Amino acid sequence: MTLLVVATGNPGKLREMQEYLTGLDWELTLKPDELEIEETGETFSENACLKASQVAIATGEWAIADDSGLEVDALDGAPGVYSARYGKTDKERIERLLFELGNELNRQAQFVCAIALARPDGSIAAQAEGKCQGEIIHAPRGSGGFGYDPIFYVPAGQKTFAEMTAQMKRSLSHRGMAIKAIIPQLKKVRNNEL
């Protein structure tokens, strides 16, 4: 098995990735705690590549990183790559988003997740992206999930992300789509094709 460092300090993300990648002959591990990674890119894919490269170089192992956020059409794609920095807490971030959107009729939005795989020398071997279309509702609904989940309604599931079970969210979410999309490339690496 080849080691694959997941460029996150979040054990939940590691578990989610493990579920998708079982049977692929990669041994997943979290990045070392002391390794701080910068997110200075202007796009999700730039940030995913930056994180994967930095972690690969620092550890000398293969590394995989994701970067995600919410794009609201009527706000010209905001908060986008600034999703995590849009307020101090999830509650503040949601309040700010609802305030800025006001009574706007166009409530279309999408969660986007970019994922990148870096070789031990930091070069990028593969990239993929996943998207989930939804609508921003006027008031939070549901108690599951995190971040903007309570105001993100997914017509395909007829629920907000916060009203879904973890399994249902995974089957529809941007992160699930991105991880699934990079699996063929992870297989190619194992077969020495990338």
| Interface positions with ligand IMP (CB under 6 A) | 66-70, 83-84, 111, 145-149, 161, 173
Distance CA 64, CA 76 (A): 29
Distance CA 118, CA 153 (A): 33
Least distance to ligand IMP from the beta carbon of 156, Å? 15
Question: Which residue, 58 or 68, is less far from ligand IMP as judged by CB?
Answer: 68
User: 117 and 127 in contact (C-beta within 8 Å)?
Assistant: yes
Question: Least separation, in Å, of the C-beta of 169 and ligand IMP?
Answer: 7
Query: Is the separation of the CB atoms in 114 and 68 below 8 Å?
Result: yes
State the minimum distance, in angstroms, from the CB of residue 191 to ligand IMP.
29
Please give the Cα distance from 52 to 65 (Å, whole number): 5
Which CB, 140 or 145, lies closer to ligand IMP? 145
List the catalytic residue out of 25, 67, 73, 76.
67
Nearer of residues 24 and 84 to ligand IMP, judged by Cβ: 84
Q: How far apart are CA 172 and CA 154, in angstroms?
A: 9
Half-sphere exposure of 159 (CA within 13 A, CB side): 15
- Sign for the pseudo-dihedral over CA of 134, 140, 146, 147: positive
- Minimum CB separation of residue 25 from ligand IMP in Å reads 26
Instruction: Name the closest residue to ligand IMP (Cβ).
Output: 147
Nearer to ligand IMP, 178 or 186 (CB): 178
Closest distance between ligand IMP and the C-beta of residue 1, in Å?
Answer: 26
158 sits in the region (left: phi over 0; alpha: psi -120 to 50; else beta) called: left
Q: Which amino acid is at 29?
A: T
Is 67 considered catalytic here? yes
Give SS3 for 160.
Answer: strand
Q: Which is nearer to ligand IMP, 148 or 153 (CB)?
A: 148
Residues identified as active-site: 67
